Structure 1
Amino acid sequence: MKSQIRWGTFFKLSLVVVSSIVLTNFCTIASSDWITKNLFIQSSTFLNAKLMDNIKKKVEENNNSYLMLLRLLETKPALKNYFLAADACGTEKFIKTYDILKVYHDSVPSGTAQNLVAVSNQGSAFSFTGERISVPVEEIENMPCSLKISETSRRLQYTYQDHGITDDFKDRKCVIAARRLFLPSSSESFAMAYITIPEEEFYQMFSEAVPEGSRMVILSSDGQIVSGNEKDSLGSEETKLLSLVRSMRENGDTYRTVKENHKPEIVISGYIPELDMYMVNTVEEAALLKSYAGVRRNILVTSFLITGTAIAVVFLIMRRIVSPLNFFIQQLETFKNRRFEKVSPVKGNSEVRQMADVYNRMVDEIDSYVKQLMEEQERGRRLEIEALQMQINPHFMYNTLASIKYLTWENNTEKVSDTINALIAILKKTIGNMEEEITLREEIDLVRQYVFINQVRYGDSIEVEYFLAEEGMECMVPKLILQPFIENAFFHAFQNKKEGKIRIFAKKQRDDLICEIIDEGDGMSQEETADLLNSDRRRHLTGIGIPNVHERLRLIYGEEYGVTIHSVIGTGTSVSLRLPYHLKKIPKL
């Protein structure tokens, strides 16, 4: 009987609460719906316009960073000197290229330009990212973005194009920001600069201002759709829309309602003066009010939540009974996220407490197993690294002793002594020092000793030059990461050419250390280059060290680090090593 009375009271209270909420909501919605509808349209367009203003600031900052980059290239003589020496070759051209890249990498903030190409008035071109220019200079000069460049304007001209200028963008839709480069304190231009931005990345700057179900376009001052969310219309001309947004700008209108195909549409526009472009949102009025319907649904949901609160009172006693079990189940939900944490003490009947105890013991066992597994994986990783280093060291010893043997045959005791001293200096650093890493300065000393040994044997026909930035010399690097590449250059790069130079570069680039070994030797084909880094193909003794240096860097620092090789037959080979910049850890006292 008590149970029936309790449930009867529950249903009566629920009926009163539900009736009150429904009546209140009906009166509120009926009296304010027609007012809220108009206010919703106005507030939505107003907020969207404000959001456009914020985006304009970001876009203008990005545009200013591009302009700062171009002004830097105009004031620094490196690019102009490179174009003046377009017919130079060999060391002179390499040095001028290095000067440009040094200005670019040392002075340009990270991410300033996606892809930058400069084309001189004399028809020579330079790619700052190192990517090959896939479009002939004559075609570049006749592209729409080139034809739109003003002779005197120092503003960037943004144009859509269905392909880029370099290999990495040749099959991608792009936005080209182009401008002439002028001589300092002069109106005379000496080159044209092209900054290539992938269209999808350019559009991302504006995408947050796109209401659901709307059409967003970035319109140039001549009516071209430069970017937008409807990719099929990119590059087309929208003269009618351009006339509308110009009229809105002249009248100071934030939005305007127009009829398209007998359906009312709301056009929201914002002008970007630095880019001379318009952001235009077009959304059907019905679609905009569809969002308002969602707001109305939220009001109804809130009403139902109030009803649910009243119902929860009726189930208070039941909740007190089942709450400990619900608490324990919620703790078990952490298994879905692989978070093995103990549950806090559970208050309730003995069965629930017993389940919690069993769960906590299971978590302890899992935690112990995971720690043991991680320790075993770490030991396995270290054993792999040590095994790779043991492959490099015997290989180096073999070739060095072969050089000493050759000198002994010549009875050149003085050079034998010097060579042995150089070998002893190397062994002190490699075998005597059991640390896995040494400073780049120490690694370069090892390379100098090794170069001395090889020049004693083969003469000075192969010269080695060093270009080392002081800021990177204290970076910690694995031992013997440069020697295999120097060795490969000595023994294999100069088979046809009997003399030449090997240049070693090292510098800090953001958070990484970049080491490059560039020779002027015979070069290799793409197949030979790939074979050199393939650890499963070891045709020569010198093929042991190179693939294992690459694998060793990836094992120590991660998959994003390692060795890349670029070679051109008849020109030479460039090897680049990338590893994180870090200093030696000082032990705590």
Structure 2
Amino acid sequence: MIKKLREHELLTKLLLILFIALFAQAATISLFIYHRSREAYIEQFDQSNRMTLQKIQHDFETLNDNIENTLTLLAESSAVEGYFKEGQQTTLEKINQLRTVQKMNDSLAPIFPNIKDDIFLFGENGRMFISNDMVSDLTADDFFQLELIQKVNANPTATQMVFTQFGLTKRDKHSPSVLFIKKLRSTLNQTYGYAVVAITSDELAKIFSQSVDPQITQIDFVTDDKKIFASNLAHRIGTTFDSFDQLNENETLTKANQRITRLPLYRQNSALVSEVNVHSIADQMGVILPIILYNIAILFLGGIVVYIYLNRNTKSIYQLVDSLKQIKEPVATSVPVQGTYEIRTLSTTINQLLTTISDNHTQSLQNEQKKRALEIQAMQAQIQPHFIYNTLTSLKFLVWQQENEKAVSGIDSFIDLLRSTIGNKNEIIPVEEELKSVKSYIAILTLRYGEAISTKIMVPEELYSLYMPNMIIQPIIENAYLHAFQLKKSGFITLYAMIREDTLTFEVVDTGDGYDTEQSPKNRDYFSGIGSKNVHERIQLLYGEDYGLHIDSVLGVGTSVTITLPIIKTPSKHP
């Protein structure tokens, strides 16, 4: 996978860049849409919330009016005054007055729809009245002993709202409640008791609990001393609203992620406080999932379109790259001209360059071949005079010894040798001709050195038809005669030939003095002659470094020179 990506690096990078661009564009548009939608939604929600708060404010005022009307009816009833005022009354009068109070209670309209309330009447004469079948948790005397009564008496207002952490019935004993208390005054303006409408905080919260979502909007009724006496979050009832003083009436304060609004609740010195969670509003919008799906769709569809387009337009580039990879040698070749204008221009230019490179390569090969031919001719020119000089020296030695017959025989062999070497202008000759020259040269050397050094040629006849460079073996035989027998005066020289590992191998083995192969060439004579050196270089120039001469020698035992050549069956195989 990584290799594939590397081979298509351009397409991968372009796709990655365009994908990032598409993602950035989609994200930017999405954020813009989200923020604009969020602002519009919050603004719309604010308007809706303002209307809801005004309705709650109105409902509370309606509730307060209904309570005030109920308490006023009770306070102005002569039956109530007669029953709860101190004085001498017969039992029958008490019963009649109680019945009248009961009938009046039964005729009272509900304080507010769906809100349960309890009406209590407490008289200083110790009597009390409950509007329903509930059992009071307090006697009249207990009620008058409450601390809140002292606060009510200290306030000249006729009707007051008081928040308590308890209810007045056995049922609501542990429930935070709101008490609407009205002083019962006689015609002489003397207080003889109290009329109370008791509503638990949970019941009072029904004014707004069904109108708002507590996950988004938190509604609190707060007294002037910062106490929360009703809320759509039950755990807040009875707690203190710490930031109440920071709020101005009929204004909205933005604090952290909350938008806090305060509206007055008239007549009771309390306030309606709304806290709206902006994050919850945004979540309620329901646009995040559509935006995510929109981005995924845009990236998917856009990615497909971009991939098809880029793949179509970069395909010609990769075909051009593949064509260039297949060009192993600078020979006459070309790459396909296709694709966009730029790619076609590039392909045309590459073809022109390939043509120029091919022409230059061909010219370089020709020049190199000429150079190599000149080098080989130079080496040959060095070998031949060297060989002629040594041969003539041997004939001179015979003449000096007055060995006329041997000298004549040597001259005949020398003539044959010249005819097969210098007279033959071919660089590559059959093995048979090379061996014929070697035999003529051995005959000349035998005339000089006698039979003390015996030479034997062991070459299979099936190798005679193969081809090899001329005058390759003669310098090795010459070295063996001239240098291998300095200490020893007799021995054997044997020439072997064979096919070994797809190469034509000649091996010249002598039983002469041998030498230390670790000795510096400057300090030894063997294989240091110009003829043998040039033979090795000629072979490598002709066939490469895989071919040439290799020497193994053991001091006092002898030397083996191995000549490695390619198998050439016809002269045309010559490079």
TM-score normalized with structure 2 length: 0.43
Structure possessing the higher radius of gyration over alpha carbons: 2
Give the TM-score, by structure 1 length.
Answer: 0.42
